[in-house]
Amino acid sequence: MTSYNKINGEHVSQSKTILQEILRKEFKYDGTIMSDWFGVYSTKESLEAGLNLEMPGPTRFRQAVQVIHAVQSNEVSEEVIDENVRYVLQLVSESLKAEIPNDVVESPNDDPAASELLRKLGNESIVLLKNESGILPLSKTSVKGQKNIAVIGPNVKVAQDSGGGSASMTTRYKITPWEGIQAKLKEGNDTVGLEYALGAFLDSTLPDVGEVLLNEEDEKGIVARFYKYPPDHKGDRILMETLNLSTSRVLLSDYSSDKLDPNNPLYYVDFTGTFIPDETAEYNFGTSCVGTAQIFVDDVLVVDNKTKQTKGDAYFLGMGTREERGSAYLEKGVPYKVRVEFGTAPTYTLESGLEDAGGLYFGIQIKSTPEAEISKAVKLAKEVDKVILIVGLSKECESEGFDRPNMDIPGYTSDLIEEVVKVNPNVIVVNQSGSPVSMPWAKKVPGLIQAWFGGSELGNSLADVLFGDYNPSGKLSMTFPKRLQDNPSYLNFGSTNGQVWYGEDVYVGYRYYEKVEVEPLFSFGYGLSYTTFELHGLEISNNGDSINLKIKLTNTGAIYGAEVIQIYIKQENPIIPRPKKELKDFGKISLEAGESGSIEFSISIKEATSYWNGLKHKWQSDKGIYKVLVGTSSDDIKLQGKFVTPRTFNWIGV
């Protein structure tokens, strides 16, 4: 897939240099090349560059009349068309081998082995960043004075399983941190008290309620009924389909029914579910859409985004309405019937430019102030032994089509953490994000976990680590800086008149922080364990093409665990400016308490030593002495060795 941007002034989707010289010839790629969505800017140039497929359909630059005219006027040769068609047909041919029927219905994988694998992946991805005074793991029973735990934060009862936009997938189920922790404590021999507080708001819009509403089987979810005609239709509305959904953020671009005219995306959907409040209070209801929508609570209209609509920019690539809100006073524990009546994009009263059915988002949240929620959380924190603060980002904060304006967690989350730590020092912060966030409170909390967006089993995986049923072994895949200004791209980020300068060059991530000696908050490759390891006995051999390494290590702690060994290479006295060291390989080894073992690596010398020579347009490996640095993070090197290359040479390809 080609990117949207230009490289050296030319769009990638029409660059012969990128698509032919590099992708086809150097990389030997023999598959289909397609554009990113709406990432084509020409007919002739993109065809001749070998962009085989324009996405999405219907095409904008390759309509029959355009291509036929280009061929008949000798602007584009038939051979160019044939070559592009061959790659598309090749894709079709390979896809047919999957033997997926045309009318297949998407279905979930309910094999228990799938859930087990997701939980294992979640466990292994979690990174333990701080564990002062052994505050972790927590106990499932009332020991060490731990009798009750408060779980506080906007991500406690929300399953932040993934980023937004194209990072999202439909899931069969999601386990929230609250559910995972509840289930874990039930495994204990006696009961540890568990309390909850929201603490802070996260998103600027109301949160997804797919995990909050109950469907008609009293299970988590929303019932969606698709009709051909609107609710006020005098006759039969013609029910087309009934679906159970796990989200209240719905896009309908690919919905189809044999009861609909394929050229007319006009239809109606009623979304229903039962809402049972956690506390007696006034609650906000809200929706934004491309189409029209109204929200009813026990058949009373609460939100009207139908008769009067205002443009917004929160969703739908800036084409939808602003979030319209209304409120209702609800009592704790009482079930309320929520119904959202939605009409698709043709009912929209504003300009959208969409040719499909559009979509809507709707949510529910207690009506309160940040100060009031922090106050409730602080009151609870005073009354418990341990506090787990589950915070971070969400699909709204990390999605496609925009960049985060800063590294801060939105809203009053940092204030919440600061105030809770003042009244209870036994705090574990769990951060969920796909990228670094500012942590001005990091030194004040004894326990800190980076949990990322953990997929369907995120709640269970997190509970496994918090309570010690899994010993964390994850490592940071990126550097966490102390502040936004420390980032390598800080001075270059963004475009000026459509031009972006990648001024950081090869000094990205840890390479930059080490070169300019800026101390990060947490270094690349960093991650703690509930046990300890000792590395020793580095052995290096060089056969001319590769270096072979063998490292011995011992689990010097009291429990089973795993360590990730990282191999960095550093050239001594380089003839050009180079990073202080570069990661070239890594591997994981698991050991019982007291057990010793070894791990081996074989690393290509040309790949380990080479850099791009822009003058020769080739990779270059310089003769000389190279250090092998073995560590458990980029700033924690345990062992060192050397190898020598006898000659300088150039190469191309992969």
**Active site residues per annotation:** 36
CA angle, corner 324, sides to 321 and 328, nearest 5?
A: 160
Rounded to 10 deg, the angle between the 413-423 and 370-382 helix axes is 30
Q: Which residues contact 146 (CB under 8 A, 6 or more apart)?
A: 138, 139, 192, 385, 386
Closest by CA position to 613, among listed 573, 571, 650, 646: 650
Q: Are 439 and 431 within 8 A, CB to CB?
A: yes
In DSSP terms, 48 is beta-bridged to none
- Across the beta sheet with 127-131, what order do the strands follow? 127-131, 447-450, 427-432, 386-392, 148-152, 193-197
Question: Contacts by 602-606 with C-beta closer than 8 Å and gap 24+?
Answer: 602/546, 602/547, 602/548, 602/549, 603/546, 603/547, 603/548, 603/549, 603/567, 603/569, 604/545, 604/546, 605/542, 605/544, 605/545, 605/546, 605/547, 605/643, 605/645, 606/545, 606/649, 606/651
b/e map 301-340, b = 16+ CB within 10 Å? ebbebbeebeebeebbbebbbbbbbbbbebeeeeebebbb
CB 65 within 8 A of CB 59: no
What's the Rg (C-alpha) of the chain? 28
Across the beta sheet with 533-542, the strand order is 533-542, 546-555, 596-604
- 8-state DSSP, 483: S
Distance between CA 488 and CA 510 in Å, rounded?
A: 9
Provide the token pair at 419: 């105030």
Prior bond of 574 cis (ω within 30°)? no
For 564, how many CA atoms within 13 A lie in the half-sphere containing its CB? Answer: 23
Two tokens, residue 344: 């698709």
Tokens of 393: 């980002």
H runs (alpha helix) in 28-77: 44-49, 64-72
Count of CB atoms situated within 10 Å of the CB of 64: 8
Got the DSSP string for 326-375?
EEEEE-TT--EEEEEEEE-GGG-SS-----S--EEEEEEEE---HHHHHH
C-alpha angle 7/10/13, rounded to 5°?
Answer: 90
Whether residue 46 contacts residue 33, with contact meaning beta carbons closer than 8 Å, is answered with no
User: Within its chain, how far is the Cα of 609 from the centroid?
Assistant: 32
Single-letter amino acid code for the residue at 435: S
Name beta bridge partners: 555.
533
Cβ atoms of residues 141 and 467 within 8 Å? no
Amino acid at 40: V
Query: What's 218's DSSP letter?
Result: S
Residue that has been written with the tokens 């509840």 in this structure = 182
